[in-house]
Structure 1
């Protein structure tokens, strides 16, 4: 938690000193899976908009553009290096060729909705670009749904900071609870996946 607090403090100082450019850089890094909390960047930027330093819609637009750029970077990493690594070594973490083929097919059918709704969820929003890249989802579709899903999330966070004003930090406990909930769901999903794909479980089903 201390590391997150230090990152948050750095982010606030960086935004105050660099303005819109700082917002863009931090938001792009966050979407490229660098641990920069959007729950700090967007509300704080919204608060600064309430003081007249920024425009609220300018903040929302900059963060959304940055999210899209950062997500594209992570998508490219997944489509190139990530795909190659999983094809060669995925079997050691229970990801085989058939799982990759299923992921490809799933993203072809449901990728747009998955990207849109994932952008509205903490934690997942920053990493969904990687599996989308690994599955080689249609790039244009990925980009459009990333921007579309990022916009409402960014608006809500920035608007809450704008309305809360100097008390914007009072929002943090609520975001932390939401993050914990989503993280818990992810852990349960990972446990379920491992249980379903363990060799012993498959033998029991066959028997």
Structure 2
């Protein structure tokens, strides 16, 4: 982790604000460290005068959009049919589960994209179903930019204001992440239990 952070700092100091965009794009696609570390660090580096605060926010948002577009196209290339075929090979999943998820995304895609950018652990993943659903690219870019701008601004400004204490941002966001992951864990557990109960009822009915 330390060597990665050293590299991120070096990129930001060498390239300036565009380096923030590069680090954010790479973090979105290949997250060796989470955005709640990269972005406050970008704010701290801005506070040292290596680039402007507004420039950091703009370039970070550009980087977020570029990374999201890469994942969007990966989802589009993967496609619903392959995902459905994979679901059929996974215990307790079926192709119709994928169909329902895609249908839900079709109804709520704009909200999912915007709000997903504000949720640690979901920020990158949410681009993939958007690509699978083939959400109109302009709409995807618009809501991705809006959500990313809000998230990036909050974390970069926090790092800028905290200065050398920028790492405290990760602790605060980490606490919120634990709650989010707990909720997701309960949702997954509920899905598994429900599916097992349904399968048991079907087996009993067949007898």
TM-score (structure 2 length as normaliser) = 0.86
Cα drift, residue 49 of structure 1: 1.8
1:45 counterpart residue number: 42
Match of 1:24 among 21, 37, 41: 21
- Worse-matched range after superposition: 56-65 or 38-47: 38-47
Work out whether 1:152 is the aligned partner of 2:118: no
Structure 2 counterparts to residues 103-182 of structure 1, below 5 A: 103-182=101-180
Q: Secondary structure at the match of 2:119?
A: coil
Structure 1 residue 202 displacement after superposition: 3.5
Measure, in 1, the Cα distance between the counterparts of 2:138 and 2:175: 34
Q: What is the CA–CA distance in structure 1 between the aligned matches of 2:100 and 2:59, rounded to whole Å?
A: 35
Q: By how many angstroms is 1:169 displaced?
A: 2.1
Distance, in Å, in 2 between the alignment partners of 1:15 and 1:188 is 39
Tell me, yes or no, if the aligned pair for 1:33 and 1:126 is still in contact at 8 Å.
no
Task: After superposition, give the CA deviation of every residue in 1:171-203 in whole Å (9 maximum; x if it has no partner).
Answer: 3321222222222222222222233334x5344
Given that 1:104 and 1:136 are in contact with CA atoms closer than 8 Å, whether structure 2 keeps it comes out as no
Q: Give me the whole-angstrom Cα distance separating, in 1, the residues matched to 2:150 and 2:104.
A: 25
Question: Is 1:107–1:137's contact at 8 Å kept on the other side of the alignment?
Answer: no
Change in Cα spacing, 1:78 to 1:164, as seen in structure 2 (3 Å) is same
Residues 102 and 133, structure 2, Cα contact 8 Å, conserved in 1: yes
Contact 1:44-1:168 within 8 A present in 2 as well: yes
Q: Secondary structure at the match of 1:52?
A: coil
- What's the RMSD between the two structures over aligned residues? 2.2
Tell which structure's C-alpha radius of gyration is larger: 2
Question: What is the TM-score when the length of structure 1 is the normalising length?
Answer: 0.86
